[in-house]
Structure 1
Amino acid sequence: MIVGLTGGIGSGKTTIAKMFHELGVSIYIADVEAKKLMNTSKIIQKELIETFGDETYVDGELNRSYLSNIVFNNPEELQKINAIVHPRVGEHFKSWYHERRNEAYIIKEVAILFENGSYTQCDKIITVVAPIEARFRRLIQRDQTTREAIQSRMNNQWSDAKKTALSDYIIHNDNLAKAKEQVKKIHQEILLNSEKI
């Protein structure tokens, strides 16, 4: 069973994913795998250089700041990157999942699970939500960034209301102890459901 885990930027998806991992669940974090593939896949490298120029890589390493500047406030350019990277991440996930298909369920954590349409490949969906100010606080601290830069990234994502309407489970991540309780409850429910399939 594939369980999609998503949530707006700064909602604490990765923290929640770790809680599931502590319960023995295998986790696939799409953003982490995408970053790895952007540095290791010759096909991705070739297509990104053809699209954005030779400066996209410096000494074989992805030039993140160069690409970030291109996509900042530019959804069309972001779409171009996603069109190159996401299909390869999808293929990578399939082989990763194939090795774990006998597990009761796995979690695929994707920031833009709804936006890129991959939610249709999930059996269940969990959306993590958190108060907007808490999200700003986390991101400013984590990324040493500005409210404006965060807002720009938020504008490229679906609203919480739109996501939760299509989700099976919602985790309110404004208190770690309470979030952990919600994770345990959802874990038990999914295990029960997977036994019935």
Structure 2
Amino acid sequence: MVSILLAEDQVLVRQGLKMMIETDPELQVKGEADNGKEVITLCEKNHFDLVILDIRMPEMTGLEAMRVIRKRWPALKILILTTFNDEAYALEALKNGANGYMLKDANAEELIRSIRSCLQGGLSIEDQVAAKVFPTLIQNNRTTEIDDTLTKRELDILVGVGQGLSNKEIADQLFLSIGTVKNHISVILDKLALRDRTQLAIYAIRHDIV
């Protein structure tokens, strides 16, 4: 059974979300919070697999709570669920470690699919939000220090992965063979202690590499 903490300051909305989530028999809302401070208190007392956070809540916002969670419980999955299709909010959430960003107009199937994606290590972003966020991420210059263990060639390949290019597209762009690109990606995964290409793309986005 997947244990979920649901944070939403509007009681009726929270009850509706809980009913939607629990249409999946493997998902159970075992904690409810009105604000970010309650989220932290509940995390201190209980184990949760995933926390669903609204952005605007009294006393402590969802984004503020998320930053605390990332420091204290880094393995806890976080899904932002909000009414705000706002580029700034979405960028801040993703860069601070959100595993997903969904809008409240999603139906039960979409919400459960996003929860499942977060739990499996994916990055679930509402299509409308992704349309605003990804062009900005791709256009941004790198602002963080790049891992010193990566070579220039490995960094170039990481940029391609972060931009969503296939191995063939990266190979064509860098004048390499597909096999060479695959080998480089395997080495990069080992160096960064990441599991797969999806995690590599998320790494690139969150570290402003693309």
- TM bracket (short chain): 0.3 to 0.5
* TM-score normalised over the length of structure 1: 0.35
Task: Report which of the two has the higher share of helix.
Answer: 1
Structure with more contact order per residue of length (Cα contacts < 8 Å, sep ≥ 6): 1
Which one has a bigger Cα radius of gyration? 2
What is the TM-score with the length of structure 2 in the denominator? 0.33
